[in-house]
């Protein structure tokens, strides 16, 4: 498993594939305690996608349980979502942002409720 940003960059650089790169998921970046300064130094050519979400730094359940059942919408947890967005934009990322909120609670909601809340909470992170 590749579990550091440095190892990810090393692998992508060594592969030399023009159609490969790094997908940054805020949940994993926050859990790995990667600094936003370090993120901002990633060469933009290696950034292929960015996933937004929120969560807590410490959880009473396993990391696996936290990963698949307890992510939160942007702005509803402890992560610095705006700081993350600023860091990847500083690195030169200009692509789309995805929303990835894996949540046991959300699986009980209607699709309309989920997408409305996802849009509202995410777009708020791009506003001042």
3-state secondary structure 11-66: HHHHHCCCCCCEEEEHHHHHHCCCCHHHHHCCCHHHEEEEEECECCCCCCCCHHHH
pLDDT of residue 2: 79
CA 28 remoteness from chain centre? 7
Share of the chain above pLDDT 70, in %: 98
pLDDT of residue 1: 67
| Domain made up of 5-126: CATH architecture | Alpha-Beta Barrel (3.20)
> In the predicted model, what is the mean pLDDT of residues 35-58?
96
pTM (predicted TM-score): 0.93
Q: How confident is the model at residue 109 (pLDDT cuts 50, 70, 90)?
A: very high
> In the predicted model, what is the mean pLDDT of residues 68-94?
98
Domain locations in the chain?
A: 5-126
- Separation in Å, CA 118 to CA 38, 58, 80, 91, 105: 27, 23, 17, 25, 14
> In the predicted model, what is the mean pLDDT of residues 20-41?
95
């Amino acid at each position: 498993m590749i579990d550091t940003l440095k190892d990810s960059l090393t692998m992508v650089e060594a592969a030399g594939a023009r159609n490969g790169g790094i997908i940054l998921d805020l949940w994993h970046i926050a859990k790995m305690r990667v600094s936003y300064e370090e993120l901002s130094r990633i060469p933009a050519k290696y950034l292929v996608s960015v996933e937004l979400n929120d969560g807590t730094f410490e959880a009473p359940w396993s990391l696996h349980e936290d990963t698949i059942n307890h992510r939160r919408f942007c702005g509803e947890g402890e992560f610095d979502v705006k700081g993350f967005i600023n860091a990847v934009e500083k690195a030169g990322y200009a692509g789309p942002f995805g929303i990835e909120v894996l949540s046991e609670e959300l699986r009980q909601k209607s699709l309309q409720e989920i997408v409305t809340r996802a849009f509202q909470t995410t777009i708020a992170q791009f506003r001042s």
